[in-house]
Amino acid sequence: MTASLNVDLSSEDVARFGNDPARTFSANLQNVQERIAATCRRCGRQPEDIRLLPVTKTVPAHILRFAFAAGLSEFGENKLQEARDKQAALADLAIHWNIIGHLQTNKVKYLVRFASEFHALDSFRLAEELNHRLDAQGRDLDVFVQVNTSGEASKYGLHPGELMSFVERLPEYPRLKPRGLMTLAIFSADTERVRTCFSLLRALRDRAVAVHPGLMLLSMGMSGDYETAIEEGADVVRVGQAIFGPRPTDDASYWPGFVS
């Protein structure tokens, strides 16, 4: 199947993704899907209600051709520039690109050209600029409002206490189609501390949705904590390393203050 891709793999690629990356990704994906199904059985949810958003940061564009061959057609990227470069390199494939990381206002003009979703809305300034640029393009954008549920200064997102006043003003930005709330839990081996972040987001969603019915979905859970997130109500889990393998570098450039 993948021979027809005609992609040359370097020895570095083979070391990281195997001889047949599509097979590696399919096997990993199946494992994640089985764990999602098992978690759903435990907590009385339906696996088909959980959306698995593959996170592809640091995975090179030519390798993503194998992910596409393995059946994946939407990718989450943390950084706009990285997403933009990959989108350009893979423009021949029908891929949905979702930006899931912090965005600087001066990058908004690029995002509106190709992104399907944005998961890290956390300021009026960004909402204003997005709405303005989307309007110029004559298009709408699905957005998730990011909340800092861990209280860590290193995490982006609105303070929980700021969320309701933010939500009340979302109708001022009609090009933004609010879909839900997003969070990153605390990086901790203590599952109960992680769980507290997710249950807080769910409680906030229950209040927010009363004001803005679009804000129904919870985007929460990553490779290390998606099962806990599903138990706490996650609708979208953003999973990278469990599908694509460990990243070669630490995540400091994606999360300021990150300590591995």
Considering the complex, state which of residue 110 and residue 254 has its C-beta at the smaller distance from ligand PLP.
Answer: 254
With binding defined as CB under 6 A, does residue 154 bind ligand PLP?
no
Considering the complex, state which of residue 135 and residue 223 has its C-beta at the smaller distance from ligand PLP.
Answer: 223
With binding defined as CB under 6 A, does residue 100 bind ligand PLP?
yes
- Residue from 21, 54, 101, 178 binding ligand PLP (CB under 6 A): 101
Rounded to an integer, what distance in angstroms lies between the CA atom of residue 176 and that of residue 185?
A: 25
User: Cβ distance 247 to 57 under 8 Å?
Assistant: yes
- Residue from 69, 80, 163, 222 binding ligand PLP (CB under 6 A): 222
- Helix 80-89 vs helix 61-69: angle between axes, to the nearest 10 degrees? 70
Rounded to an integer, what distance in angstroms lies between the CA atom of residue 180 and that of residue 163?
A: 12
- Residue from 68, 124, 254, 258 binding ligand PLP (CB under 6 A): 254
Taking the chain, what is the end-to-end CA distance rounded to the nearest angstrom? Answer: 37
**Minimum Å distance from CB 80 to ligand PLP?**
12
Site for ligand PLP in 226-245 (CB under 6 A): 238-242
Looking up tokens 């109960």, which residue turns up? 192
Site for ligand PLP in 46-65 (CB under 6 A): 55, 57
Q: Token digits for 196? A: 């507290």
φ, ψ dihedrals at 233, nearest 5°:
110, 10
Which residues lie near ligand PLP (CB under 6 A)?
55, 57, 78, 100-101, 184, 222-224, 238-242, 254
